[in-house]
Amino acid sequence: MSPAGPAREPAVDRPEGPLVVTVPGRAGRPAGRLVLPAEELRWRFSRSSGPGGQGVNTADSRVELSWDVAGSRVLDEQLRERLLEALQGRLLDGVLVVAASQHRQQRRNRSAARDRLGALVAAAAAPPAPARRPTRISAGARRRRAEAKQSRSSTKALRRRPDW
């Protein structure tokens, strides 16, 4: 231990318990729950930018939370494929990383990162909406449309200069 205090621990895992994600149901399917175990969540802490005076230079308040979607053992193959496809723009080698640094306290940033990761996973895990079945345009609607077009045409024709 140095005179300045204990050595700062670099990026390490700090378990906080499992992350429970409620996956919305669609098309008559009930909502489900997805539990991400704490062992699969990786925490990393670093110095945050922005306001905070001298304290910002000593406190590791910025939080990065990452979860290996491709290597997770809680996902079945179908859900894994859906998550990988939906999150493909945010994944780096199959790992979803969420950063939070908007608060000055690490505790609040941890909570924000967990919430953000949960929201991303819930939105991506939701089953796709059923395909829209196009409806036929009724005969009456087609007739009314033709009449309206004819009416507009005659109104505009009356505005024209007479052709002598």
Question: What tens digit of pLDDT does each residue of 85-98 get?
Answer: 988 888 888 899 99
56 pLDDT tier (thresholds 50, 70, 90): low
44 sits in which H/E element: strand 41-46
Assign domain 19-125 to a CATH class. Answer: alpha beta
Distance CA 130, CA 85 (A): 17
Pair of tokens at residue 39: 């062992």
| Domains of the chain by residue range | 19-125
Distance CA 31, CA 23 (A): 6
How confident is the model over 26-52, as a mean pLDDT?
Answer: 77
pLDDT digits (tens, 9 = 90+) for 118-141: 898 888 888 888 888 999 999 999
For the ranges 1-5, 111-115, 143-147, the lowest mean pLDDT is seen at 1-5
Element counts in the chain: helices (H) and strands (E): 3, 6
Distance CA 79, CA 94 (A): 14
Terminal alpha carbon distance of the chain: 104
Q: For the chain, what's the residue count?
A: 164
Distance CA 137, CA 97 (A): 47
pTM above 0.85, yes or no: no
Q: Is the pLDDT of residue 156 over 50?
A: yes
